[in-house]
Amino acid sequence: MIDQPGLARLLCFASPAFPTGGFAYSHGLEWAVEAGDVRDQAGFSAWLAMVLADGSGRSDAILLRHAHRAAEDADRLAELAELAAATAPGLERQLEILAQGAAFAASAAAWGGVPACAYPVAFGAFAARQGIGEDAACIGYLTAWLGNLVSAGVRLVPLGQFAGLRVLRGLEDTVLAVADNTAAAGLDDLGGACFRADIAAMRHETQYSRMFRS
């Protein structure tokens, strides 16, 4: 169970209103839409489920959990931050994870702060310092991560707001499964099998017309 102050903080930190700049990133989705990989609600939901369960969503959850456990170990957090940056598949993915982490750290300073580093590492360490449990922090992070990408998809595919909500509803079980499956994961479990999504993020770097930074 999460206590009421912890719940209030988690809802705040995971809210779209918390200024991490997530609205500016599409995680390669912009190129995937242009290439025809994502054309409708069903395709968008399948793309998100893949990235969440077998790609960066899962890796972020693993990094967050280890950062949560090492919240008071500065050297360990630095190692995790370096690992997160090094394992990002492509320049824009690295920008996405580092820029959002820096923005999160700057905003979190009002509550005591956390080192500016990769977003899931900063989120996990900060959640621990605020008395937010590891499982709750993981679910909150993944839900916020997914919400940002759904917002991007609503604009890009394009989809209506209700279609975006149906996508979110349809992936609730996937979020919970990823959170559960990463509870005992080690750092050797980092990695993914979403090659098309990773290629999309790389090709976005030279996409001619772009709305998003990734």
| CATH number assigned to the domain comprising residue 144 | 1.10.4190.10
Q: Is 29 within 8 Å of 156 (Cβ atoms)?
A: yes
Q: Cα separation of 24 and 21, whole Å?
A: 6
Domain that holds residue 110: 4-10+24-206
Record the tokens describing residue 206, joined without a space.
């030279």
In tens, the pLDDT along 94-131 reads 999 999 999 999 999 999 888 899 999 999 999 999 99
In tens, the pLDDT along 132-177 reads 999 999 999 999 999 999 999 999 999 999 999 999 999 999 999 9
Is the residue at 16 inside a domain?
A: no
b (16+ CB within 10 A) / e for 86-100: ebbbbebbbebbbbb
Is the residue at 17 inside a domain?
A: no
Length of the chain in residues, anyone?
214
Is the residue at 212 inside a domain?
A: no
Is the residue at 36 inside a domain?
A: yes
Q: Enumerate the H helices of 55-118 as residue ranges.
A: 56-69, 74-86, 91-108
Is the residue at 64 inside a domain?
A: yes
Q: Considering its fold, how many domains does the chain have in total?
A: 1
Considering the entire predicted model, what is its pTM? Answer: 0.96
Is the residue at 187 inside a domain?
A: yes
